[in-house]
Amino acid sequence: MTTLADSPTDTPRTPAARAELAATFLGNGANYDRYRPGFPLETVRRIAAARGGLLGDVLDLGAGTGKLTELLAGRADAVTAIDPSADMLAQLSAKLPSVTTHVGLAEALPLPDSSLDVVTVAQAFHWFDRDAASAEIARVLRPGGVLAIVWTVPDPRCAWDRACYRLAHPPRDLGDTTGALALGGPVHTPALPGFETLRGEHLQWSEHLTRSDYLQRWGTVSTLLASSAPDRAATLAGMEAILDADPGTAGRQLLKVRHVTEVITYRVR
């Protein structure tokens, strides 16, 4: 499920709070698919490199509307997509009819043991119970199988986007002092039970979109979806003020948004 997509530092601490925010996505598939950014093709190349260049049989877990799935389809032997939202998967299936879909959870995958070569998780791992999900992913991977966790975060060169990010994701007591993921330097590669870490990589890229679509994009973020109408309006008004004040965006209807995609790969033990 990007710059604005919900990041590990935005994860609520309690399972109940996490479930409440995650539920905001269940009926928001059309807007999510229209406004959320995708990923650069290089993302899939880096994932395949962890298996010597071949993807094999792939599961895109927490696939949402298929932002990463569409890059995997046609490049893997077979692709399966799992997400807890039937609405999200309906959007995916309309675009990618060849992809097998299942409504399901990372902690209880509806797939047989040792049936996959790669599991990808884009913008979604923070919604999972880490240990239970790691155990399930390890179960369905074949020996030597690869898990790839993908995040897209604000590029430090795009100050106005980072400022908007901080409005949508205010700092929490999670070691996050800026309201955004740590940017620059090496990619953080947290240890996962049952897996050995291979590598973490940065991919810098950009896209152009209208100011209106940029603001609509923020309206698909869980923190705004879960907020009251007055709070949501205030946050969006604050973003408007940032765009009006920054010399890179003031008076412009077409914006260049810079992203950094982090690709973290693991091998099942």
| Segment 72-85, tens digit of pLDDT | 999 999 999 999 99
When pLDDT is averaged across residues 78-100 and rounded to a whole number, the result is 96
Q: What is the mean pLDDT of the chain?
A: 87
pTM here?
Answer: 0.85
Cα angle at 187 between 266 and 72, to 5 degrees? 50
Q: What is the pLDDT of residue 26?
A: 55
- Name the CATH topology of 8-155+181-206+258-268: Rossmann fold (3.40.50)
pLDDT at 175 over 50: no
185 vs 140 pLDDT, higher one: 140
Classify each residue of 189-227 as buried b or exposed e, where b means 16 or more C-beta atoms within 10 Å of its C-beta.
beebebbeebebbebebeeeeebeebbebbbbbbbbbbb
Q: What is the pLDDT of residue 27?
A: 54
When pLDDT is averaged across residues 26-34 and rounded to a whole number, the result is 75
Percent of the chain with pLDDT over 70: 84
Q: What is the pLDDT of residue 237?
A: 97
